[in-house]
Homo-oligomer: A and B are copies of this chain.
Amino acid sequence: MRRRRFIGHAASLAAIPLVVRPPRRAPLQVNGARLNSWLSRFDAVGRTAGGINRVGYSEADLAGRAFALELFREAGLAPRIDAAGNIIGRMEGRDRSLPPIIIGSHIDSVTDGGNFDGPLGSFASLEVVRSLREQAVELHHPLEVAVWSNEEGGVIGSKLAVGDNAAVDLDSVARSGRTIREGIGIVGGNVARLDDEVRPKGSAACYLELHIEQGGLLEQAGLQVGVVQGIIGLRWFEVTIEGFSNHAGTTPMDQRQDAMLAAARFIVAVNEAVRSEPGRQVATVGRVIAEPNTRNVIPGRVTLTIDLRDLDPAKLTRFSAAFERIGREVGVATRTTFAFRQVTSSAPALADTSVMDWIDASAVTLGLSRQRMPSGAGHDAQELALIAPMGMIFVPSVGGISHSPREFTHAVDVVNGANVLLNAVLAVDRG
Chain A interface (Cβ within 8 Å of chain B)?
213-217, 220, 232, 234, 236, 245-255, 258, 260-261, 263-268, 271, 274-275, 280-290, 293-299, 305, 307, 309, 375-378, 400-404
Contact = CB atoms under 8 A, between A and B. Distances in A.
Taking the full assembly, how many copies of this chain does it contain? Answer: 2
Contacts of A309: 248-249
| 4 residue pairs, one from A and one from B, having the closest CB atoms | A215-B250, A249-B376, A250-B376, A264-B267
Contact of A298 (B266, B284, B298): B284
Given A247-B377, A250-B375, 6 more contacts: A216-B251, A248-B284, A249-B307, A260-B267, A264-B264, A297-B403
B293 A251 contact: no
A293 B284 contact: no
Contacts of A274: 253
Contacts of A220: 255
A218 B378 CA distance: 57
Given A255-B400, A287-B293, A377 B249 contact: yes
Contact of A255 (B216, B263, B266, B268): B216
7 contacts: A251-B376, A264-B265, A284-B298, A286-B295, A286-B297, A287-B295, A295-B305
Given A216-B255, A268-B261, A295-B307, A248 B286 contact: yes
Contacts of A281: 253
Contact of A247 (B214, B246, B275, B293): B214
A309 B298 CA distance: 13
Given A214-B247, A249-B307, A400-B246, A254 B234 contact: no
B248 A260 contact: no
A234 B247 CA distance: 13
